[in-house]
Structure 1
Amino acid sequence: MPQNPQTVLKDLKAKKFAPIYFLDGEEPFFIDEIVNFIEKNAIAEHERGFNQVILYGKDSNVGLILNNARKFPMMADRQVVIIKEAQSLGDLGKEDMQKLLISYVKNPLPSTILVFAHKYKKLDGRSALYKELDKKAVYVRSDKIKDYKLTDWIEGFIKETEHSIDKRAAQLLSDSIGNNLEVLSNEIGKMLINFREPTKITNEHISRYIGINKDYNNFEFLNAIGFKDVMKANKIIHFFIQNPKANPVIPMFSLLFNYFTKIALIHQAKRNGANEQQLASLLGLPPFVVKEYMVASRNYNLGKVIDVFAYIKEADLRFKGVDSGSMSEAENLRELVYKILH
C-alpha cells in the first residue's frame, strides 16, 4: 500500500532515512517536497561533492542508476542517488531492466539512499516491480488534492508554519487559485514572510499580499449569483471584464457549471431527505458554505438549473465561434449572467 507523502516527510524530518524511495503520481508538489528535503538534509553539505549524485531520466538508464547505487560512500556514512524525471527512463518499462531493479530492491546497499522521482505517471499496480517496491521500499503515491479537500490542505499547510487561516479566507484561496499546490504554496509563502508573529490569515491579508481582491473574486461572484444579488454580480462581472488576464472567460463557464451542478445535487438529496450535515458530506464543502448553497437552491429550482446548463453550453459555443456574430467575449459573459439572474 503506497505511503502518505506527509507521513514520509515527518519521518525524514525525524532523520529516519530508508535505502529506497519511489515517488510517483500526478501531483508533483509532494514529490518535489520529499526529493528537495532528501537532497538538502540526508547528508552534510561538505559531503555532497563526492556522495550525492543527481541523474535525469532522459539521460540515464537502469544500469547506470544501479552502478551508482552500488558504490560505497567516500569518507562518509552514506551517499544519495536521486533520479529526477524518472518517468522519462527509456528502459524502465523493459522486463529485463525491471528484473535488475527488483533484484536491487530486494537487497539494497544500506549506505545508499536511492530516490526515484517519477512524476505525472503511476507504475502499473499489477507489475512485479510495483509489488516489490511496495513491500521493500518507501513507495509514495502522490495524488492530486480533490477540490473538496483543498481548504483542509490550505489550513494544514498554514498551520505547519505556526500561523492559521480563517475558513472564508481558505475558501477564497481555493476558489481563486485552484488545486495547483505549487502556485498555492508559493503565494502563501510570499504572504507569510510579512508576519513576524503567528497570525490568523483573513481575506484582507490575502487581498493585500497576494492581490486577490477581497470583494471581486470567484467566491464572491458565486455568492452573488446564489443570492440573486444582481447589483453585486454585475459589479464583479464588470471588474472581471476590466481585468481579463486575471479573470479569463473560459474558466468562468466551468466555475458556473460546477456551481449549478452542486445546486442540482442539493435538489436531488433534499428529495431523499438529506439534512445539512449530509449535504456538506455529499458536496465536500464546509458547513458555512453549504448554508449558502442551500439559499441558492431555494432561489433556483431544478427547472431553472437545467435552463442554466443550457445557457452555459450556448455561451461556451459562442466563445468558440459558433453563432457568435459580432458579440464580444464581454458581451457574451454579460448575457450569460443576465440569463442566469433573470
Structure 2
Amino acid sequence: MAKEQNYLDILADLQKKQFKPIYYLMGEEPYFIDVIANYIENNVLTEAEKGFNLTVVYGTDTDISDIVNTAKRYPMMSDYQVVIVREAQSVKSIDELVYYLRKPLTSTILVFCHKHGVLDRRKKLAAEIQKIGVLFDSKRLRDYQLPQFIENYLKQKSIDIDSKASAMMAEYVGADLNRMVSELDKLIITLPKGQNRITPTQIELNIGISKDFNNFELLDAIINKNVVKANRIIKYFAENPKSNPLVMTLSTLFGFFSNLMLVYYSPVQTEQGIAAHLGLRLSWQARDYLRAKSKYTGTEVLQIIDDIRYCDARSKGVENSSVSDGELLRELIYKILH
C-alpha cells in the first residue's frame, strides 16, 4: 500500500505543477481541506483565466450529473479548468462519479471538499480516486502533534519559534487549527523589525499567556518533583481561574501520565524507542517521559491517573459541593508530588 500523503506533500506537488484530475479532500479537520482547495483555487489559473475556467459549486445546490457535465468541458484559452465542489458531503448519488473517473478529462482539476466525514474506502469510488488522483483524509491532530504543526507553519513563512513558545501555544490554543493559525499570524505581525524568532516573552506580551505560569511549566515542575515551583504555579492558577481553567490542566496531566504508563511497556527504553512506541514524530519529545520515569514508579503513575480522574469528577460536582477548583488542584498536586 502506498504511503498516505499529508497536506504538505500535496502542496509540494501542486507547487511543482504536478496536477491530478481529481482531489477528494475529506475528514474531520477542515483546516487542511481548506488550505489545499484554496491553493488550487488561487494558484492554478491566472486572474484572466479564472473568468472562464474556474467553477465553484456547493453540494447542497447541485447534483453529480451537473458536476460531471461541468468537468467534461474543455478549458477556454487555458491549459486547465478548475471545478471545486464545496460541502461535497451533501452531493447525492456521488458513487456515480466512478463512471467519469474511468476516463477523466486531464485538462480538468476536479476538487471535492467533504468535511466532517469520509468516503467508504471499501467502495469502488474510493479505489478509482486513488488510481488517478488524491484521496486525502484530513485527520484532527493529536495534542503531541501540535508543536510540529506550529513549527512547520512558521517555517513556511521563514519564522522560527522557541520550543517552549511552541508548547505554550499548543497548550493555550489546542487543536483548533484555524484559531491557531490566526494567533500565529498575529505573532508574526508583532515581531520587531529584523527578528524572525518567536519567544515565550513575545507570546506573553501579545497573546496574554504567562511564560512562567502555565500548564507547560506546571508539568515540568511535576516531572522534576519541584515542589516550590509547582506550588507557585497552582497559587497563580487559583488567583487567575479564567485564564487557567482546571479542565485544561487536568487534560494536560492526564495525557502525560497516560502516555507515561505506556512508556513502561516500551520494548526499547531510549528516546528513539519511546518516541516510536508513543507515535511521537521527534525523538526529543520523549525526554520528559524518560525523566518522569526515573522519578515515578509504574504503581505511582497508576495512582496518579486515578487521582486525576477523581479530581475531574469532583470538579463536576461528584462528592463535592463547596471545594473550589483551586483547592482541588492543590490537593491533586500534593498527592502527585508526595
- TM-score bracket, shorter-length normalisation: 0.7 to 0.9
1:324 aligns with 2:327: no
What root-mean-square deviation, in Å, do the aligned CA atoms of Structure 1 and Structure 2 show? Answer: 2.6
When residues 108 and 155 of structure 1 are mapped into structure 2, their CA distance, relative to the original with a 3 A threshold, is: same
1:160 aligns with 2:156: yes
Per-residue CA shift, 1:34-77, capped at 9, x if unaligned?
Answer: 11111112222244344322212222221221222223445544
Partner residue in 2 for 1:300: 296
Per-residue CA shift, 1:166-216, capped at 9, x if unaligned?
Answer: 333323333333333222222222111234546233222322333322111
When residues 211 and 326 of structure 1 are mapped into structure 2, their CA distance, relative to the original with a 3 A threshold, is: closer
8 Å contact 1:54–1:83 — kept in the other structure?
Answer: yes
Distance 2:190 2:120 in 1: 45
Work out the percentage of aligned pairs sharing the same amino acid: 42
Correspondence for 1:126 among 118, 122, 135? 122
8 Å contact 1:105–1:137 — kept in the other structure?
Answer: no
8 Å contact 2:271–2:284 — kept in the other structure?
Answer: no
Partner residue in 2 for 1:35: 37
Secondary structure of 2:141 counterpart: coil
Partner residue in 2 for 1:88: 90
Distance 1:211 1:338 in 2: 28
When residues 286 and 15 of structure 1 are mapped into structure 2, their CA distance, relative to the original with a 3 A threshold, is: closer
When residues 236 and 79 of structure 1 are mapped into structure 2, their CA distance, relative to the original with a 3 A threshold, is: same
Partner residue in 1 for 2:27: 25
Partner residue in 2 for 1:245: 242
Matched to 1:121, the amino acid is: G
Distance 1:285 1:332 in 2: 34
TM-score in terms of structure 1 length:
0.86
Secondary structure of 2:83 counterpart: strand
Partner residue in 2 for 1:226: 223
1:275 aligns with 2:277: no
Q: Shift of residue 276 of structure 1? A: 4.2
Partner residue in 1 for 2:112: 116
Partner residue in 2 for 1:95: none
Per-residue CA shift, 1:57-107, capped at 9, x if unaligned?
Answer: 222221221222223445544332211121222333xxxxx23x1111122
Distance 2:59 2:50 in 1: 20
Correspondence for 2:59 among 57, 60, 72? 57
When residues 78 and 267 of structure 1 are mapped into structure 2, their CA distance, relative to the original with a 3 A threshold, is: closer
Distance 2:12 2:287 in 1: 36
When residues 135 and 120 of structure 1 are mapped into structure 2, their CA distance, relative to the original with a 3 A threshold, is: same
Distance 2:101 2:265 in 1: 51
Q: Which residues of structure 1 form unaligned runs of 5+?
A: 93-97
1:66 aligns with 2:68: yes
Matched to 1:308, the amino acid is: I
Distance 2:92 2:235 in 1: 51
Residues 129-138 or 284-293, more deviating: 284-293
TM-score in terms of structure 2 length:
0.87
8 Å contact 1:226–1:296 — kept in the other structure?
Answer: yes
Matched to 1:177, the amino acid is: V
Q: How does 1:136-147 map to 2 (within 5 A)?
A: 136-147=132-143
Distance 1:129 1:286 in 2: 36
8 Å contact 1:164–1:198 — kept in the other structure?
Answer: no
How many residue pairs are counted as aligned between the two chains? 334
Distance 2:292 2:86 in 1: 47
Correspondence for 1:193 among 181, 189, 201? 189
Distance 1:106 1:90 in 2: 20
When residues 305 and 7 of structure 1 are mapped into structure 2, their CA distance, relative to the original with a 3 A threshold, is: closer
When residues 267 and 55 of structure 1 are mapped into structure 2, their CA distance, relative to the original with a 3 A threshold, is: same
Matched to 1:299, the amino acid is: K
Distance 2:272 2:129 in 1: 40
Q: Shift of residue 135 of structure 1? A: 0.3
8 Å contact 1:22–1:138 — kept in the other structure?
Answer: yes
